Amino acid sequence: MIQTAIAGQTHSLTERYATVRALSLALAAPLSDADATVQSMPDASPTKWHLAHTTWFFETFVLRDHVAGYALHDERWPFLFNSYYEAEGRRHARDRRGMVTRPTLNEVRAYRAHVDAALVAALPTLPAAVQDLVALGCHHEEQHQELLVTDILHLFAENPLEPAIWPAPRKVPVAMPGPIGWIEGLSGIVEIGHTGDGFAFDCEGPRHRALLSPHALADRTITNGEWAAFIADGGYREARWWLADGWNWVKTNAITAPLYWEERDGGWTRFGLDGRRAIDPAAPVTHVSFFEADAYASWAGARLPTEAEWEAAAAHHDPAGGNQMDTAGPVEPRPATGPAFFGPAFFGNVWEWTGSAYRPYPGFQAAEGAVGEYNGKFMSGQFILRGGSCATPRGHARASYRNFFYPHQRWQFTGVRLAKDL
């Protein structure tokens, strides 16, 4: 799972641990006990569960397994806060997480404090391999931070009162982006996958050669304004743009627009962390499914990038650039504000659906033990997304990062970059 240890960097690991753990609490700060408890759908989890599960990860795989004399904070809680690790035994049904009103949010905060104290105390003495587990836990928690944000947004969207979690940020008016420009990609053999320097999840490797055909990628993602034109042109009403499964999904669920979009007084609005507001036509469209992304690309006479094309293009851009999450607040995709749109835009704003199914790279081997369940067992039925979003903690994303969701899912900050054959 971790390609290269970062041992010997205890001090910075302690700092990193503290930073990561603090952001989770900051994200939960505006929430009530009830906000943090309710589960809006089986795919989403309560904030309280995210806070506790990430803590359980450290408690289980670091403190319980590697710190002599550590006593579990509560012996009954692992049943509640294990997510899907079969090797860790029975666990609470995923779709019933929202039933657990107790422990309370404050009790979960106390759990976090308890584990934090034990872990920070133990950290300097842990062997390198266990410090790697701590580093893994930090990355794991960052993943859950993004989920926490998107899950709480989904919950608040279910409230007919449409409350805002944070006040809206001041908006800076920006010009509409010009037409899409096309940037020719590399062709022939390229190398993709994690290089071995620094942290990566197991599914990002092994680094390997991939073969690219002549192609070009769009120099930006699709905007809300462009998506409104797709809708106006009957995009959701014509089967010919859609994959068969996608068309069935559209019909069954009466899909007519991205998630959280509603027409009010003749114009499109979206629900966000700052409540319901008019869409910004210049901002990247988000909360679209793979099916929608693919249909849009067909309508536009283009296609989605493969993950290898995307990674080859993004490899030399700064993965910490662009609109990513720095602090707790009402993140959302923002329009580009300058000529550097293309560069940073590979990272941040929206996860970009690729046309690649999530499958193992050549030579992939799942890690042994419970941690080995991390990614490999999800390698069917899902599609790869790349690049990170406005809700990805800055520093979490990499060019080799492989995010994955089912083709109908769209409660993440997901968007569309077009590609075409040359």
Which residues lie near a second copy (CB under 8 A)? 32-38, 40, 76, 79-80, 84, 86-87, 92, 96, 98-105, 155-156, 158-161, 163, 189, 208-211, 213, 215, 239-240, 242-247, 290-291, 294, 303, 355-357, 359-360, 362-363, 377-381, 383, 407, 421
Taking the least distance from each CB to a second copy, the nearer of 11 and 237 is: 237
Report the nearest approach of a second copy to the CB of residue 92 (Å): 6
- Residue recorded with tokens 């743009």: 241
> Looking at beta carbons only, is 240 or 316 nearer to a second copy?
240
Q: Pick between residue 163 and residue 267 the one whose CB is nearest to a second copy.
A: 163
Nearer to a second copy by Cβ, of 103 and 284: the residue is 103
Q: How far is CA 385 from the centre of its chain?
A: 9
Residue 416's alpha-carbon distances to 8, 216, 354, 378, in angstroms, are 41, 15, 8, 23
Closer residue to a second copy in complex, CB, 342/406: 406
Three-class HEC string of 71-117: CCCCCCHHHHHCCCCHHHCCCCCHHHHHHCCCCCHHHHHHHHHHHHH
When the beta carbons of 272 and 284 are compared against a second copy, the nearer one is: 272
Least distance from C-beta 47 to a second copy, angstroms?
A: 10
Task: Provide the H-helix boundaries in 214-288.
Answer: 224-232, 244-253
Those residues with Cβ within 8 angstroms of residue 227's Cβ, 6 or more apart along the chain or in another chain? 258, 285, 288, 296
> What is the nearest approach in angstroms of a second copy to the Cβ of residue 60?
17
What's the closest the beta carbon of residue 383 comes to a second copy, in angstroms?
Answer: 8
Helix H or strand E encompassing 421: strand 419-421
Least separation in angstroms between residue 176's CB and a second copy is 31
DSSP calls for 106-159: HHHHHHHHHHHHHHHHHGGGS-HHHHHHHHHHHHHHHHHHHHHHHHHHHHHHHS
Nearest distance, CB of residue 18 and a second copy, angstroms: 28
